Amino acid sequence: MGAVVATALAVLPALTPLPSAPSAEAAEPPSRLAAVLPTADDTQLPALAVSEITPAAVGEKTTVTIRGLVINTTDRTLDDITVRLRYSPYPLADRKALERHSDSPDTAPYQSGPTTSPDNTPLPPGSAASFELKADAEDLDLYGGFGVYPVILEATSGQEGELGEVHTFLTYTGSEKPKKLQTAWVWPLMDRPQRADDDTYLTSDLAAELTEDGRLGRLLTIGAQDGEIDSSYTGPTPGPEETATQSPSPSPSPAPSSSPAATSAPDDTEAQPGPTPEKAPTTADPVPITWAVDPALLDDIHRLGERSYWSLSNADGSGPALEEHEATTDAQVWLAHARLWLAEDPVLAVPYANPDLPALLGADLAGDAQTAVELSRSTVASLLGREADTGLAWPADGVMDKATLEFLHSHGATTFLLDESAMPAQNWLGHTPSGAAPLSLPGGEKGTALVIDRGLSRVLGADTHTPGSSALALQRFVAETAMIAAEAPDAKRTVVLAPPQDWDPSAAYATGLLDATENLPWLSPVSLTEVRAGEADAEDRKGLTYPDKAADAQLGADHLDRLGSIRRQVQLFNSVLEEGQDPFRPAVLRLESAWWRRDDEGADTVLDRVDQAVQEHKGKIYVIPGDPITLASKNGTLGVLVANDLSDQSVTVHLSIFSENSERLSIGDYTESMEIGPGGKTTVYVPLSATVNGRTVLHLSLHNADGEPITDTPTTIPVNATGLGSGALIISGVAALVLVTALAPRAVRRWQRERARGDESAAAGPAPDGPTAADDETVGSTMPHNDRGQVGEQNGESAEDTRS
């Protein structure tokens, strides 16, 4: 098949052409392997790599051609290299035998086939040589007719012996024409949530995935089948009536408010719409596919192209840090092409962010589940310009309990994509059952279960980015589908092909799968919406079940407890916004995603970041702290400045103030409720009244209409009362007058006595040998007690005067 050739060319470009290995006499140095097989530094290169096996379906008169590379991974020059085919002439019995041959190195077919030698030998270390091995089907003597035959390719050298081997398959049809299997494709454009809060991405990887060579770019282009991304085409921009369904995005909390990049996209991201991309004409109808999208991923991509954004990084080892990135035009281009190319095909949309519905419904969060469905539909309508098929549902991990079934059915779902564990095959069944089975719905209605083949999903999800892996994975897919067809060649069955939701195939492999679906003689591609289940199909499968492993894998109690705490803070923040605004609604839904079932570390990261973002946004509504206040009189007025630094939302808040000492400083009536526009401020004037001098503290906080505080820590303002009123002055004056009235007569009498003594001393004159006034004290202090008392009486001092 041509697709297999494309696989080889995409994965092993060395084949067209391969540099010649130099001879011993060559003057030029040998070509290094890095130039032949570009690959990641940490990828272990194989000694033998298969680039293509043609044809995929081998007929009686077919010549099988196998091409590939022999790679010298040793440190010696290799010579005498041989590539040999070994096989079994008998087909494998069942799919388990196929798996054993693919995975086990111990299975060794005994029949020797043709051999070949690479052209360019001797082969220096680090070089590769191409080989081509041919075998006629009639010479292989394949006895079993239509079936899958095990094959081993071996590479050996005279110096090193065995270099490497590859296990693969030949699918032989012979002269038979098996009954065709209906094959229905589900093509996922999905991923885990890429953002925590609306402006902070978990990594910076998404932008690279949207390029033509990136994961999502490849899936979109290959799923469109012969489409090509035009980097100048940004398509029609959603109008106001379309974007009105989107929830308002909070301003980037990490970004400085003065940064223009935080509010508008740079000019160079505004690409002018180019000509509408068209699909190249094809000779065959495209393979019908049903696109499976997570609207949260579409929303993440849309935000990426709007304006600058932030990503978390652990590059310095010190924990998450924020890194700013410019808006990317690639996001606008990818979304425009998705809007164009998904316009006609069926689209299945999971609820926003693919929530863990069993966990939410079990935790009485049915309102969040309802919101996820509503936001999913509005996002698809806004960003893709169409509606998804509401009759299709894909529960997380393909399993659902009774409550989830009832919930999804209540929103229109009648056809459910399920994992094999949700509706396993009967134990007695000897073949792979049809992927379509009847399903009983609430109210006695009949629905359809589309059961995804787990073995094929593993094959589809194989790593095909290493050398030679695409060709081998494609050959395994061919063998698996042939084995299913051969198990019950007369039964009419359907195979549902649904890769993992984070599918990352190489371009060659994805293209080869679609071509194989179209061209293999035992496959008949159909649209998923056309698949119908027959009553006979119900007998081959057990009834709907919710596996214990699935119940154990649900979001745990710790995650839901933290989620509940964040939801309460979000509700508190929303309570001061205009009615109906809920800017953190998408962020909360992303926290409820089933993707976090298997990623505890990632779950902790998003919980921490959203919690921090909510606190940051609450912190943008605050009382601006003021300087300490000196109150110079009994009455005064305090001006309180309240700010709203949110760039997109108006708020209505209530101000509460209390004094630590209400007897010293009381608060009068003031305007408690206020509405503040985005980026606005308002002043509230508060009357104060002091009764006693001294210091006290005012505590100011903001709350919603129900009295719940918005600010975690109240703002404090010290107040110092230094001036008193007239009443206090009168009281102080009266007290002073009483004191003066009581002490004045006593002071006058003392003054008169002192004056009289002075006059008597002056009239008598000094005694010739008598003591002086100073000596009186000395004498008095040395006299006997009775004598001192006499002296006191001579000085005219009574005991009462002394006490006075």
DSSP string of 758-792, one letter each residue: HHHHHHH---SSS--HHHHHHHHHHS-HHHHHHHH
| pLDDT tens figures, 348-363 | 999 999 999 999 999 9
Query: Where in the chain is CATH 2.60.40.10?
Result: 621-724
Q: Confidence band (pLDDT; 50, 70, 90) for 795? A: very low
Mean pLDDT of the 764-775 span: 45
State which H helix or E strand residue 639 sits in: strand 635-644
- With b for 16 or more beta-carbon neighbours within 10 A and e for fewer, the 35-70 pattern comes to ebbeeeeeeebbbbbbbbbbbbbbeeebebebbbbb
Alpha helix positions (H), 12-106:
33-36, 95-103
Q: Is the pLDDT of residue 253 over 80?
A: no
SS3 content of the chain, % helix, strand, coil (to 5): 35, 25, 40
pTM of structure: 0.80
Query: Where in the chain is CATH 2.60.40.770?
Result: 2-176
Position 271 scores a pLDDT of: 42
Mean pLDDT of the 265-290 span: 59
| Token pair in block for residue 439 | 């399903």
Position 34 scores a pLDDT of: 40
Position 465 scores a pLDDT of: 93
Q: Is the pLDDT of residue 550 over 70?
A: yes
Position 781 scores a pLDDT of: 37
Q: Is the pLDDT of residue 37 over 80?
A: no
Work out whether the CA dihedral 436, 437, 438, 440 comes out positive or negative.
negative
Mean pLDDT of the chain: 82
| pLDDT tens figures, 696-742 | 999 999 999 999 999 888 899 999 888 654 555 555 556 566 666 76
Higher-pLDDT residue of 535, 292: 292
To 5 degrees, how large is the angle CA 90–CA 112–CA 45? 100
CB-facing half-sphere around the CA of 524: CA atoms within 13 A: 12
Position 257 scores a pLDDT of: 33
Q: Is the Cβ–Cβ distance between 643 and 624 less than 8 Å?
A: yes
Position 275 scores a pLDDT of: 59
Q: Confidence band (pLDDT; 50, 70, 90) for 792? A: very low
Poorest-confidence range of 136-140, 311-315, 652-656, 784-788?
Answer: 784-788
Rg of the chain, C-alpha, whole Å: 44
Q: Is the Cβ–Cβ distance between 513 and 504 less than 8 Å?
A: no
Helices and strands (H and E) in the chain: how many: 23, 29
| Token pair in block for residue 131 | 């080989």
What is the rounded distance in angstroms from the CA atom of residue 33 to the CA atom of residue 103?
Answer: 27
Upstream peptide bond of 55 is cis (omega within 30 degrees of 0): yes
What CATH class has 621-724?
A: mainly beta
Position 41 scores a pLDDT of: 45
| Token pair in block for residue 202 | 């978990």
Mean pLDDT of the 441-463 span: 94
Query: Where in the chain is CATH 3.20.20?
Result: 184-239+269-553
Q: Is the pLDDT of residue 762 over 70?
A: no
State which H helix or E strand residue 189 sits in: strand 181-189
Distance set, CA 437 to CA 403, 538, 686 (Å): 20, 5, 73
Position 314 scores a pLDDT of: 60
Q: Confidence band (pLDDT; 50, 70, 90) for 761? A: low
What is the rounded distance in angstroms from the CA atom of residue 666 to the CA atom of residue 658?
Answer: 8
Mean pLDDT of the 41-61 span: 85
Q: Where are the beta strands (DSSP E) in 20-174?
A: 48-54, 57-59, 63-71, 82-87, 111-116, 128-136, 147-157, 161-174
Distance set, CA 306 to CA 261, 263, 300, 335, 678 (Å): 11, 9, 10, 12, 21
Mean pLDDT of the 383-398 span: 96
Q: Is the pLDDT of residue 205 over 80?
A: yes
What is the rounded distance in angstroms from the CA atom of residue 180 to the CA atom of residue 478?
Answer: 14
Mean pLDDT of the 622-648 span: 90
Higher-pLDDT residue of 289, 630: 289
Mean pLDDT of the 533-547 span: 88
Q: Confidence band (pLDDT; 50, 70, 90) for 629? A: confident
The CATH architecture assigned to 2-176 reads Sandwich (2.60)
Residues with Cβ < 8 Å from 72, sequence gap 6 or more?
Answer: 33, 47, 78, 123, 124, 125, 126, 127, 128
Q: Is the pLDDT of residue 244 over 90?
A: no
pLDDT > 90: percent of the chain? 61
**Residue 350: closest CA among 301, 381, 390, 409:** 390
The CATH architecture assigned to 184-239+269-553 reads Alpha-Beta Barrel (3.20)
Q: Is the pLDDT of residue 415 over 50?
A: yes
Position 230 scores a pLDDT of: 87
Position 461 scores a pLDDT of: 96
Position 238 scores a pLDDT of: 55
Backbone angles phi and psi of 112, in degrees to 5: -85, 135
Q: Is the Cβ–Cβ distance between 64 and 134 less than 8 Å?
A: yes
